[in-house]
Structure 1
Amino acid sequence: MTQVDTTTRFEALRQWAAAQHQLSPETLDLRLAAGDASFRRYYRLNLPSGGSRILMDAPPKQEDSRPFVDIARRWRAGGLPVPALHAMDLDAGFLELDDLGDTPLQLCLAGNEDPQTLAWHEQALSLIHELQNRAGPGELPAYDAALLGRELDLFPEWCLGRWLGMAMPTSWAELRQDLIDSALAQPLVTVHRDYDAMNLMVHDEQLYLIDFQDAVAGPISYDLISLLRGRYCRFPPARFARWVEAFRQRAVEDGRLPSTTDSETFQRQAQAMAAQRSLKVLGVFCRLTLRDTRSGYLERLPQFLHHLEQSLEALPEHAAFQAWLKDTFRPALERRLSEAREAT
């Protein structure tokens, strides 16, 4: 949106919020709290009573808030920690939510092996179990082969073609199909789809789920991977494997995974899921940079390349693609990042 559009929407939001609370728009204490990778913006409304609320501005032409509202109601009814909805105007794209503060989980992480980091990840892993146990996937869109394929194809289109000007290796087609097949072989559960530390808010020492409007019915390992192979930490393979195995055991106990799903099978499925998500993110971050002119995303590409390489080490049948990453893609990425830094 242009600056004019943003200003116009802010004034409309101010008028709407004032009417909700029977306050004068001129005296309303409404300030920008955060933006995200979409067109949504979040504002903090400080009330005369001393309380506060978060107002979401989601322009209807770019953002459909109905999935967020539907999911928030269902998940909250299921006992999951999500912000309460206090008011809404879906035609205008305005929502009023609980104020969960300014502490996303990444601000609490102090290093890969720091006890605080590990403890928060244990809590976040427990919340995935709660999400999958309490929220059925039946009313969510399917994370099917077409969607998995579209996500994977962001890598050759945006990262290789549009940013690096490179062609895909011949080994891509087999890898792409195998990653889709592995994902579809897993049990279907509720998937947040961006279960990242930035979408987990810390409030009163408890984790709350936000930004869940893109939730789908999908593979049981997806949110696990989003957390363990995310933006902020690089865990050693042994720790990653222990967490994956503990997750498998709990999922078997709860009946979300068949008891016949052995450790080796689930470890491979988790690594394949991690490869799929890393390829997707590499494409998404380039698209955010090139199409949406967002800053700060190119710097995170090496993190997800590392995740991708680590995943492929556990999938030796794709050694050819892994060799291409090492010999061709990584040098090209590093050169392009260096050029981008020099240009700024």
Structure 2
Amino acid sequence: MPDTSPAQRLDRLHRWAAECHGLPSHAIRLRLAAGDASFRRYFRLTLPDDTTRMLMDAPPEREDSHPFVAIARRWRAAGLPVPALHAVDLDAGFLELDDLGDTPLQHCFAGNEAPDTLAWHERAMALLHELQNRAGPDELPAYDTTLLGRELDLFPEWCLNAWLDLAVPPGWETLREALIDSALAQPVVSVHRDFDAMNLMVANDRLYLIDFQDAVAGPISYDLISLLCGRYCRFPPARFGAWVEAFRQRAVHDGRLPSTLPPETFLEQTQAMAAQRSLKVLGIFCRLTLRDGRAGYLERLPHFLAHLETALDGLAGHDAFRAWLDETFRPALTARLAAAEEAST
């Protein structure tokens, strides 16, 4: 039977952690460390010798932690930097993990063109190569037509209909089909699915992967796009193109991409992937606001709209959708955000 309140779950988590270490409850300390866009909460556990661990509280009626545990074990066995699992109770939804500190990668950024920002992106791309080279995708769910389409449909359902009260635009179905086809044409690798700076922790000057429970077997460019077109930075086309080409060359060298794939074709595939992800995020952020009552997501919508516009500039066709985006969607978004801000003051 589910616990009826966060306080009850916290008390149960406290007792579980103490039992895992053979200690009385009063001998350990727990404090809230973080929450995320799901129903998971994270608490920092401090043991009597001042060793710290991270406790994940994922109510099983709302969050299935089986994929996280299975992937964590496989990826760690493959030599990837993921937190070790020290205790697991999937029935309760409790996990004890390594404490990786409080520094997600975006805290190391100092502006789009700062040397440290660029260097950390280079390091993150190196980690992405490791992920794709070491972790086979065979045991992951497929990032197939159904899933890609379901993600794209978040845009008309939650951003257009639920938040802006706009009709589905001309050219939407054509664009939707083209983006799915482009994704499915790419080689299949292990895809973290949210390889954004917030899910890369910096500990002891090393990057670690977290929040990988939604990993799938899918397009090789998806995680690259998650990083380069994420929520914290926007890079000029020349830098973006140079990074995409460097990624392509390394992937060809490692055997993840065929040497016969022209650079311009892979660049276009990454732009299509960027458009797919931007549309998905626009829908998800509206859903998090409207359905889940989460704050702090609406102000990020213009950032991802800019990602979407840049991505579409790199794709041929879709003129009707592009015109609608400029003439109808952007003004409606601007007006709705202004109204929401005014209502909150």
User: TM-score normalized by structure 1?
Assistant: 0.99
After superposition, the C-alpha distances for 1:105-154 in whole angstroms (9 at most, x for unaligned) are: 01111100000000000000000000000000000000000000000000
Q: Which residue of 2 aligns with 1:198?
A: 198
Label 1:288 to 1:3 Cα distance change in 2 as closer, same or farther (>3 A): farther
In the TM superposition, 1:39-50 aligns within 5 A as: 39-50=39-50
Helix, strand or coil at the partner of 1:294 = coil
After superposition, the C-alpha distances for 1:250-297 in whole angstroms (9 at most, x for unaligned) are: 000000001111100000000000000000000000000000000000
Q: Which residue of 2 aligns with 1:60?
A: 60
Helix, strand or coil at the partner of 1:129 = helix
Contact 1:312 1:319 survives alignment (8 Å)? no
Q: Which residue of 1 aligns with 2:287?
A: 287
**Residue 294 of structure 1 aligns to which amino acid in structure 2?**
R
Helix, strand or coil at the partner of 2:43 = strand
Q: Which residue of 1 aligns with 2:329?
A: 329
Which stretch of the first structure deviates more once superposed, 92-101 or 15-24?
15-24
Alpha-carbon shift at residue 330 of structure 1 (Å) = 0.2
Contact 2:170 2:324 survives alignment (8 Å)? no
Q: Which residue of 2 aligns with 1:18?
A: 18
The share of aligned pairs that are identical, in percent, is 73
Q: Which residue of 2 aligns with 1:5?
A: 5
Alpha-carbon shift at residue 315 of structure 1 (Å) = 1.1
After superposition, the C-alpha distances for 1:149-202 in whole angstroms (9 at most, x for unaligned) are: 000000000000000000011210000000000000000000000000000000
Which stretch of the first structure deviates more once superposed, 79-88 or 22-31?
22-31
Measure, in 2, the Cα distance between the counterparts of 1:122 and 1:139: 28
Q: Which residue of 1 aligns with 2:276?
A: 276
Measure, in 2, the Cα distance between the counterparts of 1:93 and 1:126: 33
Helix, strand or coil at the partner of 1:316 = coil
After superposition, the C-alpha distances for 1:195-231 in whole angstroms (9 at most, x for unaligned) are: 0000000000100000000000000000000000000
Helix, strand or coil at the partner of 2:250 = helix
Cα RMSD for the two superposed structures: 1.1
Contact 1:248 1:266 survives alignment (8 Å)? yes
Give the ranges of 4+ consecutive aligned residues of structure 1 lying more than 6 Å apart after TM superposition.
Answer: none
Contact 2:231 2:300 survives alignment (8 Å)? yes
Alpha-carbon shift at residue 4 of structure 1 (Å) = 5.5
Alpha-carbon shift at residue 3 of structure 1 (Å) = 11
Measure, in 2, the Cα distance between the counterparts of 1:3 and 1:60: 10
Measure, in 1, the Cα distance between the counterparts of 2:235 and 2:27: 49
Measure, in 1, the Cα distance between the counterparts of 2:3 and 2:146: 36
After superposition, the C-alpha distances for 1:14-48 in whole angstroms (9 at most, x for unaligned) are: 01001111222134210000000000000000111
**Residue 149 of structure 1 aligns to which amino acid in structure 2?**
G
Q: Which residue of 1 aligns with 2:109?
A: 109
Q: Which residue of 2 aligns with 1:254?
A: 254
Contact 2:170 2:320 survives alignment (8 Å)? no
Measure, in 1, the Cα distance between the counterparts of 2:152 and 2:83: 32
Measure, in 2, the Cα distance between the counterparts of 1:184 and 1:331: 33
Label 1:91 to 1:109 Cα distance change in 2 as closer, same or farther (>3 A): same
Contact 2:3 2:9 survives alignment (8 Å)? no
Helix, strand or coil at the partner of 1:341 = helix
Which stretch of the first structure deviates more once superposed, 24-33 or 111-120?
24-33
**Residue 37 of structure 1 aligns to which amino acid in structure 2?**
A
Q: Which residue of 2 aligns with 1:185?
A: 185
Contact 1:80 1:130 survives alignment (8 Å)? yes
User: TM-score normalized by structure 2?
Assistant: 0.98
In the TM superposition, 1:26-37 aligns within 5 A as: 26-37=26-37
Helix, strand or coil at the partner of 1:87 = strand
In the TM superposition, 1:296-307 aligns within 5 A as: 296-307=296-307
Helix, strand or coil at the partner of 2:45 = strand
Measure, in 2, the Cα distance between the counterparts of 1:26 and 1:324: 61
Measure, in 1, the Cα distance between the counterparts of 2:316 and 2:195: 28
Helix, strand or coil at the partner of 1:95 = strand
Helix, strand or coil at the partner of 2:317 = helix
Measure, in 2, the Cα distance between the counterparts of 1:31 and 1:240: 40
Alpha-carbon shift at residue 50 of structure 1 (Å) = 1.8
Measure, in 1, the Cα distance between the counterparts of 2:88 and 2:189: 29
Q: Does 1:242 align with 2:242?
A: yes
In the TM superposition, 1:201-240 aligns within 5 A as: 201-240=201-240
Q: Which residue of 1 aligns with 2:153?
A: 153
Label 1:190 to 1:240 Cα distance change in 2 as closer, same or farther (>3 A): same
Measure, in 2, the Cα distance between the counterparts of 1:158 and 1:3: 30
**Residue 276 of structure 1 aligns to which amino acid in structure 2?**
Q
Q: Which residue of 2 aligns with 1:175?
A: 175
Measure, in 1, the Cα distance between the counterparts of 2:318 and 2:248: 24
Helix, strand or coil at the partner of 1:317 = coil
**Residue 273 of structure 2 aligns to which amino acid in structure 1?**
M
Measure, in 2, the Cα distance between the counterparts of 1:39 and 1:323: 38
Q: Which runs of 5+ in 1 are unaligned?
A: none
Which stretch of the first structure deviates more once superposed, 319-328 or 79-88?
319-328
In the TM superposition, 1:95-106 aligns within 5 A as: 95-106=95-106
**Residue 279 of structure 2 aligns to which amino acid in structure 1?**
L
Contact 2:88 2:96 survives alignment (8 Å)? yes
Which stretch of the first structure deviates more once superposed, 16-25 or 61-70?
16-25
Measure, in 2, the Cα distance between the counterparts of 1:256 and 1:324: 37
